[in-house]
Structure 1
Amino acid sequence: MIRPIRHVASRPAALCVPVAALAASLLLTGCGGGAEASPGPTSAAPSQRGTSSVPEVSLKEAPQQLPQRLPGLGPKTLAEVPPETRQAVVVTGRGKDSPLSTVVLYERTEAGWRAGVSRPAHNALNGWSDHHMAGDLRSPIGVYGLTDAGGLLPDPGSRLPYDRSGSFTVSGTGFEGEPLAGSFDYVIAINYNREPGTSPLDRTRPLGSGRGGGIWLHVDHGGPTHGCVSLRKDRMRELLRALDPALNPVVVMGDADSLSR
Protein backbone atom coordinates (compact mmCIF):
# COMPACT_ATOMS: atom_id res chain seq x y z
CA MET A 1 0.00 0.00 0.00
CA ILE A 2 1.39 3.37 -1.06
CA ARG A 3 1.35 6.25 1.32
CA PRO A 4 0.89 9.82 0.09
CA ILE A 5 4.38 11.18 -0.12
CA ARG A 6 4.59 14.95 -0.05
CA HIS A 7 2.08 16.05 2.52
CA VAL A 8 1.82 12.91 4.53
CA ALA A 9 -1.69 11.59 4.00
CA SER A 10 -3.81 12.51 1.02
CA ARG A 11 -5.20 15.95 1.51
CA PRO A 12 -8.86 16.60 1.79
CA ALA A 13 -9.56 18.43 -1.39
CA ALA A 14 -12.40 20.53 -2.57
CA LEU A 15 -14.92 18.56 -4.53
CA CYS A 16 -14.47 18.99 -8.25
CA VAL A 17 -18.03 20.03 -8.83
CA PRO A 18 -19.53 23.48 -8.56
CA VAL A 19 -21.43 24.41 -5.42
CA ALA A 20 -24.78 24.03 -7.14
CA ALA A 21 -23.92 20.48 -8.09
CA LEU A 22 -22.67 19.67 -4.63
CA ALA A 23 -26.06 20.19 -3.09
CA ALA A 24 -27.41 17.43 -5.31
CA SER A 25 -24.58 15.04 -4.60
CA LEU A 26 -23.74 15.26 -0.90
CA LEU A 27 -22.83 11.57 -0.76
CA LEU A 28 -19.96 12.07 -3.18
CA THR A 29 -16.51 12.39 -1.75
CA GLY A 30 -14.68 12.92 -5.02
CA CYS A 31 -14.06 16.00 -6.96
CA GLY A 32 -16.32 14.70 -8.10
CA GLY A 33 11.30 10.21 -22.89
CA GLY A 34 14.06 9.62 -24.07
CA ALA A 35 15.35 10.69 -27.48
CA GLU A 36 16.23 8.05 -30.00
CA ALA A 37 19.70 8.30 -31.50
CA SER A 38 19.38 7.62 -35.21
CA PRO A 39 22.33 8.88 -37.26
CA GLY A 40 21.36 9.81 -40.77
CA PRO A 41 22.71 7.92 -43.79
CA THR A 42 26.12 8.91 -45.08
CA SER A 43 27.13 8.71 -48.70
CA ALA A 44 30.65 7.89 -49.75
CA ALA A 45 32.60 10.55 -51.61
CA PRO A 46 33.68 9.52 -55.15
CA SER A 47 37.34 8.60 -55.58
CA GLN A 48 39.56 11.47 -56.53
CA ARG A 49 41.51 9.17 -58.86
CA GLY A 50 38.45 7.66 -60.49
CA THR A 51 39.86 4.14 -60.07
CA SER A 52 38.04 3.20 -56.85
CA SER A 53 35.32 4.40 -54.56
CA VAL A 54 35.00 4.51 -50.83
CA PRO A 55 32.83 1.55 -49.79
CA GLU A 56 29.42 2.45 -48.46
CA VAL A 57 29.31 2.31 -44.67
CA SER A 58 26.50 0.32 -43.09
CA LEU A 59 25.14 2.06 -40.03
CA LYS A 60 22.90 0.33 -37.53
CA GLU A 61 20.26 2.28 -35.72
CA ALA A 62 21.36 3.03 -32.18
CA PRO A 63 19.22 1.57 -29.39
CA GLN A 64 16.68 3.86 -27.77
CA GLN A 65 18.14 5.86 -24.90
CA LEU A 66 15.69 6.12 -22.03
CA PRO A 67 16.05 8.62 -19.18
CA GLN A 68 17.18 7.15 -15.87
CA ARG A 69 15.19 9.82 -14.01
CA LEU A 70 11.67 11.02 -14.58
CA PRO A 71 11.96 14.01 -16.96
CA GLY A 72 11.01 17.45 -15.65
CA LEU A 73 11.35 16.53 -11.99
CA GLY A 74 13.91 18.16 -9.72
CA PRO A 75 15.78 16.51 -6.82
CA LYS A 76 13.18 17.46 -4.19
CA THR A 77 10.31 15.95 -6.17
CA LEU A 78 12.29 12.89 -7.23
CA ALA A 79 13.14 12.17 -3.60
CA GLU A 80 9.44 11.74 -2.90
CA VAL A 81 8.96 9.01 -5.53
CA PRO A 82 9.24 5.67 -3.71
CA PRO A 83 12.17 3.54 -4.93
CA GLU A 84 9.81 0.62 -5.57
CA THR A 85 7.61 2.65 -7.90
CA ARG A 86 7.68 1.46 -11.52
CA GLN A 87 4.68 3.43 -12.82
CA ALA A 88 4.31 7.18 -12.47
CA VAL A 89 1.50 9.34 -13.82
CA VAL A 90 3.14 12.75 -14.20
CA VAL A 91 0.68 15.67 -14.29
CA THR A 92 2.46 18.87 -15.31
CA GLY A 93 0.55 22.11 -14.96
CA ARG A 94 1.09 24.93 -17.45
CA GLY A 95 1.52 27.45 -14.62
CA LYS A 96 0.98 27.89 -10.89
CA ASP A 97 -2.35 29.62 -11.50
CA SER A 98 -3.42 27.76 -14.65
CA PRO A 99 -6.15 25.09 -14.92
CA LEU A 100 -4.43 23.47 -17.93
CA SER A 101 -2.00 20.58 -17.69
CA THR A 102 -0.65 17.51 -19.47
CA VAL A 103 -0.55 13.91 -18.30
CA VAL A 104 2.08 11.30 -19.19
CA LEU A 105 2.26 7.73 -17.88
CA TYR A 106 5.87 6.60 -17.35
CA GLU A 107 6.94 3.00 -16.79
CA ARG A 108 10.37 2.11 -15.44
CA THR A 109 12.24 -0.61 -17.33
CA GLU A 110 15.76 -1.97 -17.02
CA ALA A 111 16.77 0.59 -19.67
CA GLY A 112 15.15 3.55 -17.91
CA TRP A 113 11.81 5.36 -17.78
CA ARG A 114 9.67 4.85 -20.88
CA ALA A 115 7.14 7.60 -21.59
CA GLY A 116 3.63 7.12 -22.89
CA VAL A 117 1.80 9.67 -25.00
CA SER A 118 1.30 13.16 -23.55
CA ARG A 119 -2.40 13.87 -22.99
CA PRO A 120 -4.10 17.23 -22.36
CA ALA A 121 -5.91 17.58 -19.05
CA HIS A 122 -7.58 20.02 -16.69
CA ASN A 123 -6.74 20.71 -13.07
CA ALA A 124 -8.30 23.09 -10.56
CA LEU A 125 -9.64 26.50 -11.59
CA ASN A 126 -7.02 28.49 -9.65
CA GLY A 127 -4.11 26.20 -10.44
CA TRP A 128 -1.92 24.54 -7.80
CA SER A 129 -1.07 24.68 -4.10
CA ASP A 130 1.56 22.99 -1.95
CA HIS A 131 -0.79 23.43 1.04
CA HIS A 132 -4.21 22.62 -0.34
CA MET A 133 -7.23 23.69 1.69
CA ALA A 134 -10.89 22.91 1.18
CA GLY A 135 -12.46 25.48 -1.12
CA ASP A 136 -9.26 27.06 -2.43
CA LEU A 137 -9.97 25.77 -5.96
CA ARG A 138 -6.39 24.56 -6.32
CA SER A 139 -5.01 21.08 -6.93
CA PRO A 140 -2.52 19.71 -4.39
CA ILE A 141 1.13 19.53 -5.43
CA GLY A 142 2.89 16.33 -4.49
CA VAL A 143 3.52 12.64 -5.02
CA TYR A 144 0.61 10.40 -4.05
CA GLY A 145 -0.23 6.73 -4.33
CA LEU A 146 -2.83 5.35 -6.73
CA THR A 147 -4.47 2.33 -5.13
CA ASP A 148 -8.22 2.51 -5.72
CA ALA A 149 -10.66 3.18 -8.56
CA GLY A 150 -14.36 3.18 -9.30
CA GLY A 151 -17.09 4.83 -11.28
CA LEU A 152 -20.66 4.89 -12.47
CA LEU A 153 -19.88 2.59 -15.42
CA PRO A 154 -18.83 -1.07 -15.28
CA ASP A 155 -15.18 -1.89 -14.65
CA PRO A 156 -13.37 -1.45 -18.00
CA GLY A 157 -10.61 -3.88 -17.01
CA SER A 158 -8.92 -2.11 -14.12
CA ARG A 159 -6.26 -3.96 -12.14
CA LEU A 160 -6.82 -1.57 -9.26
CA PRO A 161 -9.77 -2.47 -7.00
CA TYR A 162 -12.84 -0.98 -8.74
CA ASP A 163 -15.99 0.15 -6.94
CA ARG A 164 -18.95 0.52 -9.27
CA SER A 165 -21.67 2.61 -7.65
CA GLY A 166 -24.62 4.82 -8.52
CA SER A 167 -23.20 7.32 -6.03
CA PHE A 168 -20.72 8.41 -8.70
CA THR A 169 -23.58 10.33 -10.36
CA VAL A 170 -23.11 14.08 -10.75
CA SER A 171 -25.18 16.80 -12.41
CA GLY A 172 -25.13 20.54 -12.90
CA THR A 173 -22.65 22.66 -14.81
CA GLY A 174 -18.99 23.53 -14.47
CA PHE A 175 -17.19 26.85 -14.23
CA GLU A 176 -17.54 27.46 -17.96
CA GLY A 177 -21.15 26.32 -18.19
CA GLU A 178 -20.25 22.83 -19.40
CA PRO A 179 -22.41 19.89 -18.23
CA LEU A 180 -20.85 17.75 -15.52
CA ALA A 181 -22.85 14.59 -16.26
CA GLY A 182 -20.54 11.64 -16.89
CA SER A 183 -17.53 13.17 -15.11
CA PHE A 184 -17.46 10.30 -12.63
CA ASP A 185 -18.06 7.50 -15.11
CA TYR A 186 -14.46 6.47 -14.33
CA VAL A 187 -12.37 7.72 -11.42
CA ILE A 188 -9.03 6.89 -9.81
CA ALA A 189 -8.60 8.08 -6.25
CA ILE A 190 -5.47 10.13 -5.56
CA ASN A 191 -4.22 9.31 -2.08
CA TYR A 192 -4.32 12.86 -0.83
CA ASN A 193 -5.93 13.07 2.63
CA ARG A 194 -7.69 9.75 2.26
CA GLU A 195 -7.39 6.20 3.55
CA PRO A 196 -5.73 4.00 0.88
CA GLY A 197 -7.40 0.67 0.22
CA THR A 198 -10.94 2.05 0.38
CA SER A 199 -13.48 3.11 -2.24
CA PRO A 200 -12.94 6.58 -3.76
CA LEU A 201 -16.26 7.39 -2.10
CA ASP A 202 -14.87 6.87 1.41
CA ARG A 203 -14.98 10.10 3.38
CA THR A 204 -12.17 9.40 5.86
CA ARG A 205 -9.93 12.49 6.06
CA PRO A 206 -6.79 11.81 8.15
CA LEU A 207 -5.74 15.49 8.04
CA GLY A 208 -9.22 16.75 8.84
CA SER A 209 -11.95 18.12 6.61
CA GLY A 210 -10.37 21.57 6.42
CA ARG A 211 -7.60 20.19 4.22
CA GLY A 212 -10.04 19.05 1.55
CA GLY A 213 -10.45 15.58 0.11
CA GLY A 214 -11.91 13.57 -2.75
CA ILE A 215 -9.08 14.41 -5.13
CA TRP A 216 -9.48 12.15 -8.15
CA LEU A 217 -8.39 11.53 -11.69
CA HIS A 218 -11.71 11.51 -13.54
CA VAL A 219 -13.41 12.06 -16.89
CA ASP A 220 -12.92 15.55 -18.33
CA HIS A 221 -16.05 17.70 -18.64
CA GLY A 222 -14.38 20.39 -20.74
CA GLY A 223 -13.41 22.87 -18.04
CA PRO A 224 -11.47 23.44 -14.79
CA THR A 225 -12.12 21.33 -11.71
CA HIS A 226 -12.36 22.08 -8.00
CA GLY A 227 -9.14 20.16 -7.26
CA CYS A 228 -9.07 17.01 -9.37
CA VAL A 229 -7.28 16.19 -12.62
CA SER A 230 -9.50 15.29 -15.56
CA LEU A 231 -8.83 13.40 -18.80
CA ARG A 232 -10.91 12.45 -21.80
CA LYS A 233 -13.08 9.40 -21.20
CA ASP A 234 -11.14 7.11 -23.55
CA ARG A 235 -7.88 8.20 -21.88
CA MET A 236 -9.28 7.36 -18.47
CA ARG A 237 -10.19 3.88 -19.73
CA GLU A 238 -6.63 3.46 -21.02
CA LEU A 239 -5.18 4.57 -17.71
CA LEU A 240 -7.41 2.27 -15.69
CA ARG A 241 -6.30 -0.69 -17.79
CA ALA A 242 -2.62 0.28 -17.63
CA LEU A 243 -2.11 0.91 -13.92
CA ASP A 244 -0.82 -2.17 -12.12
CA PRO A 245 -0.78 -2.30 -8.30
CA ALA A 246 2.20 -4.68 -8.52
CA LEU A 247 4.20 -1.75 -9.97
CA ASN A 248 3.33 0.57 -7.06
CA PRO A 249 1.89 3.38 -9.19
CA VAL A 250 1.94 6.98 -8.05
CA VAL A 251 0.81 10.30 -9.42
CA VAL A 252 3.34 13.16 -9.47
CA MET A 253 1.39 16.40 -9.86
CA GLY A 254 1.97 20.12 -9.84
CA ASP A 255 2.91 23.07 -12.00
CA ALA A 256 6.09 22.66 -14.06
CA ASP A 257 8.12 25.07 -11.93
CA SER A 258 7.21 23.37 -8.66
CA LEU A 259 7.95 19.90 -10.02
CA SER A 260 11.37 20.98 -11.30
CA ARG A 261 12.64 21.80 -7.80
Structure 2
Amino acid sequence: MYALRRSAVALLATFALAACGTVPGGGETDAAPGTSPNPTASARDQLARRGDVPLPDRATRPTPTKTATASPKPKTTTPANDASRLRTLPSTTTQVIVVKASGYGTSNGTLQAFSKRNGAWTPAFGSMTAKLGTKGFKDSKIEGDLTTPTGVYGIGGTMYGIAGNPGVKYGYHKLVANDWWNENPATDGYNSFFHGADPGGASEALWETDPQYRYFAVINYNIPVRKADPPRGSGIFLHVMVPGRSTAGCVALAESDLVKVLRWLDPAAKPRIVMAPASELDRY
Protein backbone atom coordinates (compact mmCIF):
# COMPACT_ATOMS: atom_id res chain seq x y z
CA MET A 1 0.00 0.00 0.00
CA TYR A 2 2.83 2.41 0.86
CA ALA A 3 4.47 1.78 -2.54
CA LEU A 4 1.19 2.48 -4.30
CA ARG A 5 0.80 5.87 -2.55
CA ARG A 6 4.36 6.81 -3.39
CA SER A 7 3.84 6.16 -7.12
CA ALA A 8 0.70 8.31 -7.12
CA VAL A 9 2.52 11.30 -5.53
CA ALA A 10 5.33 11.08 -8.12
CA LEU A 11 2.79 10.99 -10.94
CA LEU A 12 1.02 14.11 -9.63
CA ALA A 13 4.32 16.03 -9.38
CA THR A 14 5.20 15.18 -12.97
CA PHE A 15 1.82 16.45 -14.17
CA ALA A 16 2.20 19.77 -12.29
CA LEU A 17 5.60 20.52 -13.88
CA ALA A 18 4.32 19.79 -17.37
CA ALA A 19 1.33 22.17 -16.94
CA CYS A 20 3.33 25.21 -15.67
CA GLY A 21 5.94 25.62 -18.46
CA THR A 22 7.93 28.39 -16.55
CA VAL A 23 10.97 28.54 -14.37
CA PRO A 24 11.61 30.73 -11.40
CA GLY A 25 12.54 34.27 -12.33
CA GLY A 26 9.83 34.66 -14.99
CA GLY A 27 11.79 33.23 -17.96
CA GLU A 28 10.20 30.98 -20.54
CA THR A 29 11.23 27.35 -21.12
CA ASP A 30 10.35 24.57 -23.50
CA ALA A 31 7.87 21.92 -22.39
CA ALA A 32 9.20 18.76 -20.82
CA PRO A 33 10.21 16.09 -23.33
CA GLY A 34 7.32 13.94 -24.38
CA THR A 35 4.66 16.45 -23.29
CA SER A 36 2.57 19.04 -25.24
CA PRO A 37 3.29 22.79 -24.78
CA ASN A 38 0.98 24.81 -22.57
CA PRO A 39 -1.70 26.09 -25.05
CA THR A 40 -2.17 29.38 -23.19
CA ALA A 41 1.55 30.21 -23.21
CA SER A 42 1.89 29.15 -26.85
CA ALA A 43 -1.02 31.34 -27.97
CA ARG A 44 0.35 34.29 -26.04
CA ASP A 45 3.78 33.79 -27.65
CA GLN A 46 2.32 33.70 -31.16
CA LEU A 47 0.29 36.86 -30.58
CA ALA A 48 3.37 38.63 -29.27
CA ARG A 49 5.38 37.68 -32.34
CA ARG A 50 2.61 39.18 -34.52
CA GLY A 51 2.71 42.35 -32.47
CA ASP A 52 -0.85 41.99 -31.12
CA VAL A 53 0.13 41.83 -27.43
CA PRO A 54 3.40 42.56 -25.65
CA LEU A 55 5.59 39.86 -24.24
CA PRO A 56 6.17 41.30 -20.78
CA ASP A 57 9.14 39.11 -20.01
CA ARG A 58 11.21 39.61 -23.21
CA ALA A 59 9.81 42.78 -24.80
CA THR A 60 11.71 45.94 -24.03
CA ARG A 61 10.24 49.39 -24.22
CA PRO A 62 11.85 51.37 -27.10
CA THR A 63 14.12 54.18 -26.04
CA PRO A 64 12.50 57.51 -26.98
CA THR A 65 14.49 59.44 -29.54
CA LYS A 66 14.76 63.22 -29.57
CA THR A 67 13.39 64.91 -32.63
CA ALA A 68 16.04 67.15 -34.12
CA THR A 69 14.97 70.78 -34.04
CA ALA A 70 15.97 72.75 -37.08
CA SER A 71 18.11 75.74 -36.24
CA PRO A 72 16.38 79.03 -37.05
CA LYS A 73 17.55 80.56 -40.28
CA PRO A 74 19.71 83.61 -39.72
CA LYS A 75 18.01 86.88 -40.52
CA THR A 76 19.22 88.43 -43.72
CA THR A 77 19.75 92.14 -43.95
CA THR A 78 20.11 94.27 -47.02
CA PRO A 79 23.70 95.41 -47.30
CA ALA A 80 24.07 99.12 -46.65
CA ASN A 81 24.69 101.34 -49.66
CA ASP A 82 25.58 105.02 -49.91
CA ALA A 83 21.96 106.12 -50.28
CA SER A 84 21.00 104.30 -47.07
CA ARG A 85 23.53 106.46 -45.19
CA LEU A 86 21.70 109.68 -46.04
CA ARG A 87 19.60 111.22 -43.27
CA THR A 88 18.34 114.60 -44.54
CA LEU A 89 16.48 113.74 -47.75
CA PRO A 90 12.83 114.85 -47.97
CA SER A 91 10.39 112.05 -47.20
CA THR A 92 8.84 112.52 -50.66
CA THR A 93 12.14 111.92 -52.49
CA THR A 94 12.29 108.52 -54.20
CA GLN A 95 15.27 109.15 -56.50
CA VAL A 96 18.72 110.23 -55.36
CA ILE A 97 22.06 110.71 -57.12
CA VAL A 98 25.19 110.31 -54.98
CA VAL A 99 28.40 111.90 -56.26
CA LYS A 100 31.41 111.08 -54.12
CA ALA A 101 35.20 111.14 -54.18
CA SER A 102 37.98 109.79 -51.97
CA GLY A 103 38.55 113.21 -50.40
CA TYR A 104 38.30 116.97 -50.88
CA GLY A 105 41.29 117.58 -53.12
CA THR A 106 40.60 115.27 -56.06
CA SER A 107 38.68 115.88 -59.27
CA ASN A 108 38.05 112.14 -59.78
CA GLY A 109 34.76 110.80 -58.48
CA THR A 110 31.90 108.40 -59.05
CA LEU A 111 28.18 108.84 -59.56
CA GLN A 112 25.56 106.41 -58.30
CA ALA A 113 21.80 106.58 -58.80
CA PHE A 114 19.24 105.02 -56.44
CA SER A 115 15.48 104.48 -56.40
CA LYS A 116 13.45 103.95 -53.24
CA ARG A 117 11.33 100.80 -53.41
CA ASN A 118 9.24 99.53 -50.50
CA GLY A 119 11.10 101.94 -48.22
CA ALA A 120 14.59 100.79 -49.22
CA TRP A 121 17.15 102.37 -51.53
CA THR A 122 18.22 100.18 -54.44
CA PRO A 123 20.69 100.97 -57.24
CA ALA A 124 19.09 102.13 -60.48
CA PHE A 125 22.21 101.12 -62.43
CA GLY A 126 25.92 100.62 -61.89
CA SER A 127 28.41 103.16 -60.57
CA MET A 128 29.69 105.65 -63.17
CA THR A 129 33.00 107.47 -63.45
CA ALA A 130 32.60 111.21 -62.88
CA LYS A 131 34.78 114.30 -63.13
CA LEU A 132 34.52 117.13 -60.59
CA GLY A 133 35.94 120.63 -60.31
CA THR A 134 39.69 120.98 -60.85
CA LYS A 135 40.20 121.59 -57.12
CA GLY A 136 37.75 118.95 -55.94
CA PHE A 137 34.99 119.36 -53.36
CA LYS A 138 34.56 122.38 -51.10
CA ASP A 139 32.11 123.04 -48.29
CA SER A 140 32.01 126.82 -48.86
CA LYS A 141 32.27 127.41 -52.59
CA ILE A 142 32.73 130.91 -54.03
CA GLU A 143 32.48 132.22 -57.59
CA GLY A 144 35.34 131.13 -59.85
CA ASP A 145 37.25 128.93 -57.36
CA LEU A 146 37.08 125.79 -59.59
CA THR A 147 35.53 123.64 -56.83
CA THR A 148 32.39 121.49 -56.71
CA PRO A 149 30.07 122.43 -53.82
CA THR A 150 29.23 119.79 -51.23
CA GLY A 151 25.64 119.38 -50.08
CA VAL A 152 22.15 118.19 -51.08
CA TYR A 153 20.42 119.88 -54.02
CA GLY A 154 17.39 119.58 -56.26
CA ILE A 155 17.37 119.30 -60.05
CA GLY A 156 16.25 122.26 -62.16
CA GLY A 157 12.85 121.99 -63.84
CA THR A 158 14.27 122.35 -67.38
CA MET A 159 17.05 120.37 -69.03
CA TYR A 160 19.07 121.84 -71.88
CA GLY A 161 21.25 120.78 -74.78
CA ILE A 162 22.83 121.67 -78.09
CA ALA A 163 21.38 118.38 -79.34
CA GLY A 164 17.67 117.58 -79.42
CA ASN A 165 15.69 116.10 -76.54
CA PRO A 166 17.08 112.61 -75.80
CA GLY A 167 13.78 111.53 -74.23
CA VAL A 168 13.80 113.11 -70.77
CA LYS A 169 10.78 113.42 -68.46
CA TYR A 170 11.58 117.07 -67.68
CA GLY A 171 10.94 120.11 -69.81
CA TYR A 172 13.68 120.40 -72.44
CA HIS A 173 15.14 123.43 -74.23
CA LYS A 174 17.27 122.95 -77.34
CA LEU A 175 19.91 125.67 -77.22
CA VAL A 176 20.09 128.38 -79.86
CA ALA A 177 22.36 131.38 -80.44
CA ASN A 178 22.40 133.92 -77.58
CA ASP A 179 21.36 131.40 -74.90
CA TRP A 180 23.50 132.23 -71.86
CA TRP A 181 23.95 131.20 -68.28
CA ASN A 182 24.27 134.44 -66.37
CA GLU A 183 27.33 134.26 -64.10
CA ASN A 184 27.65 137.98 -63.45
CA PRO A 185 27.03 138.62 -59.73
CA ALA A 186 26.40 142.31 -60.45
CA THR A 187 23.17 141.57 -62.33
CA ASP A 188 19.68 140.70 -61.09
CA GLY A 189 19.63 137.53 -63.19
CA TYR A 190 22.78 136.10 -61.60
CA ASN A 191 22.86 132.28 -61.76
CA SER A 192 19.98 131.77 -64.20
CA PHE A 193 19.29 131.02 -67.88
CA PHE A 194 19.18 134.11 -70.10
CA HIS A 195 18.49 134.67 -73.79
CA GLY A 196 19.80 137.87 -75.31
CA ALA A 197 22.94 139.96 -75.21
CA ASP A 198 25.92 138.81 -73.15
CA PRO A 199 25.13 139.49 -69.45
CA GLY A 200 28.83 140.03 -68.79
CA GLY A 201 31.19 138.69 -66.19
CA ALA A 202 31.98 135.00 -66.60
CA SER A 203 28.63 134.24 -68.27
CA GLU A 204 28.69 131.15 -70.50
CA ALA A 205 27.62 131.00 -74.16
CA LEU A 206 25.74 127.73 -73.76
CA TRP A 207 25.09 127.10 -77.47
CA GLU A 208 28.83 127.20 -78.19
CA THR A 209 30.10 124.93 -75.43
CA ASP A 210 30.38 121.60 -77.17
CA PRO A 211 30.57 118.72 -76.22
CA GLN A 212 30.02 119.68 -72.56
CA TYR A 213 26.57 121.17 -73.12
CA ARG A 214 25.34 118.74 -75.73
CA TYR A 215 23.04 117.70 -72.86
CA PHE A 216 22.90 118.97 -69.28
CA ALA A 217 20.76 119.25 -66.18
CA VAL A 218 20.94 122.15 -63.73
CA ILE A 219 22.00 121.34 -60.15
CA ASN A 220 20.15 123.82 -57.97
CA TYR A 221 23.18 125.06 -56.07
CA ASN A 222 22.69 128.70 -54.95
CA ILE A 223 19.21 128.69 -56.52
CA PRO A 224 17.49 130.83 -55.42
CA VAL A 225 20.55 133.02 -55.03
CA ARG A 226 21.71 133.85 -51.54
CA LYS A 227 23.52 137.15 -51.43
CA ALA A 228 27.05 136.81 -50.18
CA ASP A 229 30.38 138.57 -50.41
CA PRO A 230 32.17 137.01 -52.17
CA PRO A 231 29.30 135.50 -54.24
CA ARG A 232 28.65 131.82 -53.61
CA GLY A 233 29.03 130.66 -57.22
CA SER A 234 26.88 129.82 -60.24
CA GLY A 235 26.36 127.49 -63.19
CA ILE A 236 26.71 124.09 -61.49
CA PHE A 237 25.54 121.49 -64.00
CA LEU A 238 25.48 117.74 -64.64
CA HIS A 239 26.94 117.66 -68.15
CA VAL A 240 28.98 115.73 -70.73
CA MET A 241 32.58 114.88 -69.81
CA VAL A 242 35.58 115.81 -71.92
CA PRO A 243 37.88 112.78 -71.50
CA GLY A 244 40.87 113.53 -69.29
CA ARG A 245 39.62 116.97 -68.23
CA SER A 246 38.19 118.18 -64.93
CA THR A 247 35.47 120.87 -64.74
CA ALA A 248 35.12 124.41 -63.43
CA GLY A 249 32.90 123.07 -60.63
CA CYS A 250 30.30 120.94 -62.39
CA VAL A 251 29.85 117.14 -62.38
CA ALA A 252 30.63 115.50 -65.75
CA LEU A 253 29.84 112.01 -67.09
CA ALA A 254 30.53 110.17 -70.32
CA GLU A 255 27.78 111.14 -72.77
CA SER A 256 26.12 107.70 -72.83
CA ASP A 257 26.07 107.62 -69.01
CA LEU A 258 24.70 111.14 -68.80
CA VAL A 259 21.84 110.40 -71.20
CA LYS A 260 20.95 107.31 -69.15
CA VAL A 261 20.77 109.40 -65.97
CA LEU A 262 18.81 112.25 -67.60
CA ARG A 263 16.22 109.83 -68.99
CA TRP A 264 15.91 108.12 -65.61
CA LEU A 265 15.33 111.29 -63.61
CA ASP A 266 11.64 111.92 -62.94
CA PRO A 267 10.33 115.19 -61.48
CA ALA A 268 7.50 113.24 -59.82
CA ALA A 269 10.14 111.42 -57.72
CA LYS A 270 11.38 114.75 -56.24
CA PRO A 271 14.99 113.77 -56.98
CA ARG A 272 17.99 115.08 -55.09
CA ILE A 273 21.72 115.03 -55.81
CA VAL A 274 24.17 114.64 -52.91
CA MET A 275 27.79 115.67 -53.46
CA ALA A 276 30.55 115.06 -50.92
CA PRO A 277 33.68 113.08 -50.11
CA ALA A 278 32.78 109.47 -49.27
CA SER A 279 33.72 109.95 -45.60
CA GLU A 280 31.28 112.89 -45.29
CA LEU A 281 28.10 111.37 -46.70
CA ASP A 282 26.71 110.69 -43.22
CA ARG A 283 26.38 114.46 -42.75
CA TYR A 284 23.57 114.46 -45.30
TM-score of the pair, normalised by structure 1 = 0.63
What is the CA-CA distance between 1:238 and the residue it aligns to? 0.7
What is the CA-CA distance between 1:65 and the residue it aligns to? 5.8
> Given the alignment of the two structures, is residue 207 of structure 1 paired with residue 227 of structure 2, yes or no?
yes
Match of 2:265 in 1: 243
> Given the alignment of the two structures, is residue 164 of structure 1 paired with residue 174 of structure 2, yes or no?
yes
Q: SS at 1:210's partner residue? A: coil
Aligned letter for 1:207?
K
> Given the alignment of the two structures, is residue 110 of structure 1 paired with residue 131 of structure 2, yes or no?
no
Match of 2:219 in 1: 190
Q: SS at 1:241's partner residue? A: helix
Equivalent in 143, 164, 173 of residue 154 of structure 1: 164
Matched ranges for 1:223-238 at <5 A: 223-238=245-260
Match of 2:146 in 1: 137
Matched ranges for 1:1-261 at <5 A: 66=78, 71=82, 74=85, 78-110=86-118, 112-115=120-123, 116-148=125-157, 149-166=159-176, 167=179, 168-171=206-209, 181-195=210-224, 205-207=225-227, 210-222=231-243, 223-261=245-283
Match of 1:48 in 2: none
Match of 2:58 in 1: none
Q: How many positions carry a matched residue from both structures?
A: 178
Q: d(CA) in 2 for partners of 1:215 and 1:253? A: 12
Q: SS at 1:237's partner residue? A: helix
Larger radius of gyration: 2
> How has the CA–CA distance of structure 1 residues 117 and 207 changed in structure 2, closer, same or farther, with 3 Å as cutoff?
farther
> 1:38-76, CA deviations, whole angstroms, 9 ceiling, x for partnerless residues?
xxxxxxxxxxxxxxxxxxxxxxxx9x9645x752675xx
The runs of at least 4 consecutive aligned structure 1 residues that moved more than 3 Å come to 64-67, 205-209
Aligned letter for 2:240?
V
Q: Work out whether residues 130 and 141 of structure 1, in 8 Å CA contact, stay in contact via their aligned partners in 2.
A: yes
TM-score of the pair, normalised by structure 2 = 0.58
Q: Work out whether residues 65 and 111 of structure 1, in 8 Å CA contact, stay in contact via their aligned partners in 2.
A: no
Q: Work out whether residues 143 and 250 of structure 1, in 8 Å CA contact, stay in contact via their aligned partners in 2.
A: yes
Q: d(CA) in 2 for partners of 1:234 and 1:207? A: 36
Q: Work out whether residues 240 and 254 of structure 2, in 8 Å CA contact, stay in contact via their aligned partners in 1.
A: yes
Aligned letter for 2:207?
T
What is the CA-CA distance between 1:231 and the residue it aligns to? 0.3
Q: Which structure is richer in relative contact order (CA contacts within 8 A, separation 6 or more)? A: 1
> How has the CA–CA distance of structure 1 residues 164 and 106 changed in structure 2, closer, same or farther, with 3 Å as cutoff?
same
Q: d(CA) in 1 for partners of 2:239 and 2:111? A: 12
Residue segments in structure 1 that go unaligned for 5+ positions in a row: 1-61, 172-180, 196-204
Identity %: 31
Structure (1/2) with the larger helix percentage: 2
Q: Work out whether residues 147 and 161 of structure 1, in 8 Å CA contact, stay in contact via their aligned partners in 2.
A: no
Q: d(CA) in 2 for partners of 1:137 and 1:184? A: 18
> How has the CA–CA distance of structure 1 residues 170 and 258 changed in structure 2, closer, same or farther, with 3 Å as cutoff?
farther
